[in-house]
Chain A
C-alpha cells in the first residue's frame, strides 16, 4: 500500500516536471530536508520520479489545453535565453579583446601582422555552421565522454582546480553554457551546483585562515562571475537593482560626495571660478582633518549623509523583500559557505559566518552590479560622475554592513555608521535566511534516473569546445584523483586531442549522449525501490489527468464529482487512437488496482479520484505561475537580446574601422587614381535624430526645432561631414540664437570654429571614425555641437547603418 506521505508530495513535486522547469523555490524549499536521507523521503522521491517519467514518455496523445500552451511558451523562452546568453558570453569576450586592441590601432601602434591577427577575430564572430564528427566512432566516444563529464561533476570540479587561470575561462564557458547549458533544467543545474560544492570545499581545505577565505581570485570566484551571467542571475539583478539604479543615474547633477577633502576641493574650485581669487583663509590644499573640521564642508556633507542612508536603505529593503527572487543556486552556494565555515571553524561566531556569506553575496554578486551597472546590462550608458560616485558609496555601505567595517581607513565613512548599526540585526537575519534552502541530492538522483530513461539526451556543442575539453583532460588527467577508471578508458580510446580548428572549420554539433556503463532504463520502476501497486497507482493517476486535460470541456464525462470509470469509458469509445488506448488502459488499471485492494468501486475509487482532483487543482494554479514566470523571462530575454544587438553593433563598428585602416594602407601602395565614391548627403531632421537617441540633449528652443535639419556625407571611407542647417535662413542671417561672429566650440580636446553665413550649413564638421572610436574608448559619450549634443555610440550606430559600404566605409 502506498504511504500517504508519498502521495501527498507528488502533486507539488510534479509541477516542476510538468513545466519541465526548474522551480526551486516551490520545490526544494518545501520538500528538502537537511537530515540524512530517510527511507520515507527516498520512497517519496522514487514515486515522484516514477510519476514524472510516466508523464514524460507519453507520446500517445498530445495535450493541447491552455496550460500546455503556456508551458510550451515558457519552455521555448528558456531555451532561447540559454542559448542567447551563451552567444552573448562569447561575443563579450570578443568585444573585450577588440576593445583593448582597437585602442592600439587608433593610436597607430599596431604592427601589420597584428592587424591581421585582429582581423582574424572578426571571422570568429559569425554564426557557426552545423556539422558532425569525422566518423561515427568518434561521435560515440565523445558522446560517452560528455555523458560521463555531465553526470559525474567531480571530474570537472577537479579539472577546475588544476587548470591555470588562463585556461579556466574557456573551460568554464563550456561547462556553464554547454555541458550544463540548460539553465532552467533542474538536473543540469543541480549537477553544476554539485561541482561548485566540490570546488568550494577544496578551497576551504587549502585556505589556512578564514580572513583570506574567498578573497583571492580563484577558480571559484571565476566560476561565480560566469555563473551570474546565466539567465537566473540576470533576472534577479534586474528585479532588485535596475529600477533604482536607473532612477539614480537620471539625477546627473546630484552630488552626494561626503569625503571632506573632495568636498573642500570642489568648494575651493567654485569660489575661485565665481570670484576669480581665493580668500586668504582658504588654502588650496588642506589635510583630511582640516577639511573635515571645516564648518562649511560640514554643512554641505550633513544633508548628503541623510540622503545616502535613505538611498542605501531603499536598496537594502528591496534586496531583503525580494529574498524569494534570489536564484536557488546562489542561495544554495551561500548555504554551502555557511556549513563549510561552521565545519572548519566550529567556534566561529554567527557574525563571522555572516561576514563570509556577505563576502560572497554582496562582494561577488550584488555590489559589482551596483558599481558597474553597465557591465551587467542594467543601464544603457556609463553613468556620469556624480551618480557613479553615489553608486560606489552605496555599494561601500552595503559591504560595510556585511563585513566588519574598519573606519580607520576612511574616517569620513564613520559618519554613516548609523546605517550599519541600525541594520546589523536585519542583515544577519537576511544572510541566514538566504541559506535556508533545501538540498537537491535526492531529487538529483531521481532526475538522473529520468535522464537515463530518456533516449534522446543531446548536447549542442562545438567541435572546438569538444577538443579543448579533451585536451585539458589529457593534460591533467593523471592528477584528477580517484574513481577515474571509466574516464581513463574513454580517454585511452580517444587518443590524443585534436588541435583547435581554424574558425571557418569549426562546427556546431548535436552530440547524442549515452552511457556505456549504465544501460538506459526502459522500465524505471524496476530501477527504483517501489512496489507494483505504486506503479499502477501512479500510472492510473497520470492517465486520468491526461484524459481530463484532453477531453472536450463540454463532455459529460468531465462533470463533477469525477467518475473515473465513465471518463475511461468515454475515452475508450473515441476514434482518436491515442485516447482509445488511454481509455482502455485506464479501465484495465482500475480493475487491477481494485483487485489489489488499493481502491474500491464502493466509494467510486475515492483515493484515486481525490488525488486526480488535487493534481488538476494544482495544475490550474500552475498556469498562473507559468504565465507570471514567462512574463518575467520575457523581459530577461529582451534585455539580453538588446545587449546582443549592442555587442554586435560594436563588433561591426570595429570591423569597419579595421577594414578601413587596412584598405587605406593597401591603398597607399596601390595607385592613387582609384576614385573614392562619395556617399550621401543624407538628410535627418532634428526630431528624427532625437527620437533615435542620437541627439541626447538639445539647446535649440522647442519652437525652432522643426527648422533644424542635418545632412551627413561620407566623402571617403571613414570620413564624414555632418552639417547643421536652419531652414529658411539667409546666408547673411545669424543662426538660431547665436551671436554673430566667431564662435568657438570645444569638442573635448578639439576646437571647432564656426562662422555663420555660409550657405553650406551653419556648422559643419569633419568627422573621422578614429575620433569617434577614441571618444568611445574614453567613455566620452557626448559629442558637443553647441546647439545639440550627440550621443557617440548612437552616432556610430547611425553611421554604421547608413554608410555601410561593402567591407569598408
Chain B
C-alpha cells in the first residue's frame, strides 16, 4: 500500500448563504450554480495534484442554516481540514467563524488544525460590509491562518483556497507520524482513525482487569 494516493477529508463550514456550495461546485465541477438551494449535507470527491503528488479530496459541504448545528460535531470529528467561509457582504458571517474554530479545536483536541479563512463574494464590491483588514486581524489572532477573498461567481481564488488547505494537511501529515495525535493521516486500511493515545494525561486508569 506504499503508493496509495493520499486521502483527505475537507469540511466546508460557515453561515447560511455565504456561498459554500457555490465555491465547492466551482472547485469540483467548474460550474456556477445560481439556484436557491440551501444545503443539508452534500459530499464530493475530487482528485487533484498538489505539488506533484496526487491527492483524493473528500469534501463535505455542510448546512449553514443554524437549525442544523447539532450535526456539526460529527463533521468536525471526521474532517482533517476546514474551510471557514464568510461573505464579505455581512459582518455577522465573519463573527460566526470564531465559534466554529473553537469547536473544531475542542473536538480535535489540538492546538492547531489546517484551516483557511475564506471571504467569499468578492465580486460584490459595492455591497462590501467587511473590510479585509478585519479578516486579516482574525487570521493573526488565530496564529496566521491563511486568508483569501474569493468569488465563486467569477471563479477567483477558488482553486487557491483548496490547494492551500491541502498543503497544510500534507504538512501536518509529514510532521506527525502514525499514532501521534492530530490530523491529516493517511487512513489505515479499515478506514478508521488510528486509536487516539491518551499520553500526557494523568491519573487515567482505563478499564482493566483485576486478576
Residues of A in contact with B (beta carbons under 8 Å apart): 100, 103-104, 107-109, 165, 208, 210-212, 215-218, 221-222, 224-225, 259, 261-262, 265, 269, 272, 284-285, 287-288, 352, 355-356, 359, 363-365, 367-368, 371-372, 374-375, 392, 395-396, 399, 403-406, 408-410, 721, 747, 749-755, 758, 760, 763-768, 770-771, 778-779
Contact = CB atoms under 8 A, between A and B. Distances in A.
Contacts of A408: 25, 29, 31, 33
B141 interface: no
B16 A721 contact: no
Interface in B100-128: 103, 106-107, 109, 127
A288 B25 CA distance: 14
A100 B201 CA distance: 19
Nearest to A108: B201
B106 A100 contact: yes
Nearest to B15: A217
A403 B92 contact: no
Contacts of A287: 45, 47
A212 B153 CA distance: 14
26 contacts: A109-B109, A215-B64, A221-B16, A221-B67, A222-B66, A261-B43, A287-B45, A356-B36, A359-B38, A367-B40, A367-B67, A372-B68, A399-B38, A403-B36, A403-B37, A406-B33, A406-B35, A408-B33, A409-B21, A410-B44, A750-B207, A751-B207, A753-B209, A764-B210, A766-B210, A771-B206
Q: How large is the interface on B (under 10, 10 to 19, 20 to 34, 35 or more residues)?
A: 35 or more
B186 to A, nearest CB: 12
Interface in B10-55: 15-18, 21, 24-25, 29, 31, 33-38, 40-45, 47
Interface in B146-200: 189-191, 195-196
Interface of B: 4-5, 7, 15-18, 21, 24-25, 29, 31, 33-38, 40-45, 47, 56, 61, 64-68, 70-71, 73-74, 77, 90, 92-93, 95-96, 103, 106-107, 109, 127, 189-191, 195-196, 201-202, 204-211
Contacts of A374: 70
B35 A404 contact: yes
A352 B36 CA distance: 9
Given A212-B17, A215-B17, A372-B70, A770 B106 contact: no
A765 B207 CA distance: 6
A495 B40 CA distance: 47
Nearest to B7: A285
Contacts of A405: 35, 37
A752 B204 CA distance: 15
A770 B204 CA distance: 8
A345 B18 CA distance: 22
Nearest to A273: B190
A541 B206 CA distance: 76
Nearest to B66: A217
A212 B120 CA distance: 14
A399 B36 contact: no
A217 B210 CA distance: 53
Nearest to B74: A779
Nearest to A366: B67
B211 to A, nearest CB: 6
- Most A CB contacts (10 A, CB to CB) among B44, B109, B190, B207 go to B207
Nearest to B106: A103
B17 A104 contact: no
A347 B17 CA distance: 23
